Amino acid sequence: RARVRHCSARPREFAFARSFGPAPSRLYRVADPSPRQPRRAPTPAASRTAFSRATPTRKMSVESLRAELMDQSLDMPRRFRALFALRSVGGDASVSALLDSLRDPSALFKHEVAFALGQMQATGAVETLKAMLRDESEHSMVRHEAAEALGAIASDECLEALETASEDSSQVVRETAVLALQRFRYAQAKRRDAQAKNARADAKAPSSPPSARPDERAGSAKEQLSASTNGHQQSLDEPDSPYISVDPVPAAPSDVPTHALRATLLDESASLWDRYGAMFALRNRGDPCDVAKALGSVLIHSDSALLKHEVCYVLGQIQEKGDGARAALRATLENQNEHPMVRHEAAEAIGSIAADDTEALLLKFRHDQDRIVAESCEVALDIMQSEISGEFVPLVVEPPRAAA
């Protein structure tokens, strides 16, 4: 994301990028006044590529990150680092760079850009995301991510495209659009309630403090690298989530007992909305080992590629090292008949968990015949290095130059 769910320090003001080349890779981070220690000791295989503590500060800018993002001659992990950093920095210039990069031929890359735009809740990306969703020549994984992003943004302009996509011929796209529509209506209702509450409130009354500090948020290295420098990007309906992500479905209410959540998650006759809500509630407050076992069972028995891909994502978030969940992820990655979207998320989850056998497994599939899977394993190997090393050095994102 046996390792329990960790809440490693993640101050809001941190931005990230990474330098690649013949020398060992280095991870860049804004200086922390109390530097963290690595979360785990490197394995013998990983120690050969551990990051150096002696790396100097590197100045970056949105313009330089944009150049790396757009450069198709660079390897995918390096371009993903630029993508993560732009998502972290945010702002119109970052959104513009991400939108321009969508001309890329890689379905994996375009899917990740769409995901980032949704997590940033970038309203300026709505028209482009709608066009991606409507384009039946796009890979279903890309169209799925465009629909999910529109659901995360949940502005009025998103509604018509989602309604149309809810009847799409692709099951993955159709199921995503149905969930996104439900989230849209849920978010709209929450916003109306919040506006009514604010209208009644005394303008001079002090506001309530946030329920969780940003440096207490949990999540994998990938999420930490992408976290907003302008404040935690969190779903309106998830104020108490310990995780960084804007989820496609709100977690089930806190008064639902754990055993009922688990039953709903495993119930193949239950709606995807209810199963997603149960899964996120279990992720937020369940025992990681028990949650991972239940999620592993879903991977084995569910017929929904959409649900299984989200299960893999959550397993990458909680990063539980138990054998059962890892075996299910491995079987998913190895299954050539599985939807590439599911195999992609399985690869990244395996990288986030960073168990002793991770490197060999990902190297095995780095040249998979499916380009999405092969590129996912490249990125997952890089995520694994971040998880194993935990070595950070300063990054300074330079302000834009003033016009002459």
Residues 329-355: tens digit of each pLDDT? 999 999 999 999 999 999 999 999 999
Residue 267 has φ and ψ, to the nearest 5°, of: -85, 110
Share of the chain above pLDDT 90, in %: 64
Which has more confidence, 397 or 358? 358
Task: Report pLDDT digits (tens) over 255-296.
Answer: 999 999 999 999 999 999 999 999 999 999 999 999 999 999
Query: 299: Cβ–Cβ under 8 A, 6 or more apart, which residues?
Result: 308, 311, 312, 328, 329, 331, 332
For the cut 80, the answer to whether the pLDDT of residue 35 exceeds it is no
β-strands 16-19, 26-29: how paired?
A: antiparallel
**How far is residue 269's CA from residue 259's CA, in Å, rounded to a whole number?**
17
DSSP summary character for residue 79: H
Q: Give the residues across from 393 on adjacent strands.
A: 28
Which residue in this structure is represented by tokens 């948020």?
217
- Amino acid 250 reads P
At residue 214 the predicted structure's pLDDT band, cuts being 50, 70 and 90, is very low
Query: 40: Cβ–Cβ under 8 A, 6 or more apart, which residues?
Result: 3, 354, 387, 388, 390
Question: Residue range 188-214: average pLDDT?
Answer: 65
- Amino acid 2 reads A
What pLDDT, on a 0 to 100 scale, did the predictor assign at position 75? 96
Asked whether 179 and 249 are in contact (CB, 8 A), the reply is yes
- Whole-Å CA distances, 95 to 91, 100, 186: 6, 9, 25
Residue 398: exposure state from Cβ atoms within 10 A (0-12, 13-18, ≥19)? exposed
At residue 244 the predicted structure's pLDDT band, cuts being 50, 70 and 90, is confident
Enter the pTM of the model. 0.79
Share of the chain above pLDDT 70, in %: 72
Task: Report pLDDT digits (tens) over 295-318.
Answer: 999 999 999 999 999 999 999 999
**How far is residue 61's CA from residue 86's CA, in Å, rounded to a whole number?**
9
DSSP summary character for residue 218: B
For the cut 70, the answer to whether the pLDDT of residue 219 exceeds it is no
- Whole-Å CA distances, 92 to 1, 225, 226, 317: 29, 19, 16, 28
**How far is residue 403's CA from residue 211's CA, in Å, rounded to a whole number?**
41
Lowest mean pLDDT among 94-98, 107-111, 214-218: 214-218
Mean confidence (pLDDT) of the chain: 81
- Sign, Cα dihedral of 95, 184, 317, 107: negative
What pLDDT, on a 0 to 100 scale, did the predictor assign at position 28? 35
At residue 229 the predicted structure's pLDDT band, cuts being 50, 70 and 90, is low
**How far is residue 284's CA from residue 10's CA, in Å, rounded to a whole number?**
18
Question: Residue range 215-236: average pLDDT?
Answer: 53
**How far is residue 136's CA from residue 157's CA, in Å, rounded to a whole number?**
20
Tokens found for residue 341? 């979207």
At residue 16 the predicted structure's pLDDT band, cuts being 50, 70 and 90, is very low
What pLDDT, on a 0 to 100 scale, did the predictor assign at position 105? 97
For the cut 90, the answer to whether the pLDDT of residue 399 exceeds it is no
What pLDDT, on a 0 to 100 scale, did the predictor assign at position 37? 37
For the cut 60, the answer to whether the pLDDT of residue 44 exceeds it is no
